[in-house]
Amino acid sequence: DAGITQSPRHKVTETGTPVTLRCHQTENHRYMYWYRQDPGHGLRLIHYSYGVKDTDKGEVSDGYSVSRSKTEDFLLTLESATSSQTSVYFCAIGRVGGAGNEQFFGPGTRLTVL
Amino acid sequence: RKEVEQDPGPFNVPEGATVAFNCTYSNSASQSFFWYRQDCRKEPKLLMSVYSSGNEDGRFTAQLNRASQYISLLIRDSKLSDSATYLCVVGEVPNDMRFGAGTRLTVKP
């Protein structure tokens, strides 16, 4: 298995509170991603990073921010959580270009916003 | 219209059956295609890439039809352990990859 961990694995929080999810990799991949998965939807990209301090938005980035201060860590922050952000969040790593478009996913974080 | 569409199922098949899933995609410029497998409450894992010429990996065969913009996955001699949700994935990283919502397969004894 790819060396990706996520923390916490489960979290229940209240509307309006800040939440930070952490993704940690031991594979030294340059690219890291945050997705959310909701019933009836495929995984949707929130933000991604292509290096330390280099990040960009995905298709559902509103209400989320990210930071990457070290190659191995990619943080996702919900500044003020809303019930619509209740979801399962997956971090992923992967190569870009060449033969490698595959992504490897972390175990996920189940977030419930009450 | 969703960019990647799959029949959500569920497909309920007996052990040993052959089952096929299709997935349609809207972006004709896409160059990369994959099938991922996701077990209940787990992360998606790559099952196989889909090449233009089609490819086979044991009991699994994937095909690409660019003209009609769909990919398919065929599972032969289904096993109980094949029960999972199969995700169709189309497009390129870092930000053009699109995931289908998945097709659920249950293989019964």
pLDDT tens track for B54-82: 899 999 999 999 999 999 999 999 999 99
Question: B43 and A105: CB-CB below 8 Å?
Answer: yes
- Token pair recorded at residue A18: 């800040």
CA distance A27 to A49: 15
Q: What's the confidence (pLDDT) of residue A97?
A: 62
- Token pair recorded at residue B32: 């990369």
Question: B97 and A105: CB-CB below 8 Å?
Answer: no
| Distance set, CA A59 to CA A30, A44, A45, A62 (Å) | 20, 7, 6, 9
CA distance A113 to A92: 23
Question: A90 and B101: CB-CB below 8 Å?
Answer: no
Structural contact between residues A64 and A78, judged by C-beta atoms closer than 8 angstroms = yes
Asked if the model's pLDDT at residue B53 lies above 60, the reply is yes
pLDDT in tens, chain A (114 residues): 669 999 999 999 999 999 999 999 998 999 999 999 999 898 999 999 999 999 999 999 999 999 999 999 999 999 999 999 999 999 999 876 655 578 899 999 999 999
Q: What's the confidence (pLDDT) of residue B86?
A: 98
Q: What's the confidence (pLDDT) of residue A99?
A: 54
* DSSP labels, A24-91: EESS--SEEEEEEE-TTS--EEEEEEEETTEEEE-TT-TTEEEEEEETTEEEEEESS--GGG-EEEEE
Question: A101 and B92: CB-CB below 8 Å?
Answer: yes
Residue of B nearest to A108 (CA): B43
Chain A neighbours among B 28-57 (CB < 8 Å)? 32, 34, 41-46, 49
Residue of A nearest to B35 (CA): A102
pLDDT tens track for A16-31: 999 999 999 998 999 9
- The CA angle A76-A17-A61, to the nearest 5 degrees, is 35
**Which residue from B24, B96, B36, B11 is spatially nearest to B64, judged by alpha carbons?**
B24
| Distance set, CA A33 to CA A66, A75, A95, A113, B96 (Å) | 10, 10, 11, 22, 12
Q: Which amino acid, one-letter code, is at A70? A: K
Question: B98 and A42: CB-CB below 8 Å?
Answer: yes
Q: What's the confidence (pLDDT) of residue A98?
A: 56
Q: What's the confidence (pLDDT) of residue A68?
A: 97
CA distance B34 to B36: 6
Q: Quickly count helices (H) and strands (E) in chain B.
A: 0, 11
CA distance A30 to B77: 39
**Which residue from A89, A101, A112, A95 is spatially nearest to A23, judged by alpha carbons?**
A89
DSSP A12: E
Q: Which of A42, A95, A106 sits opposite B99 (nearest CB)?
A: A42
Q: What's the confidence (pLDDT) of residue B92?
A: 86
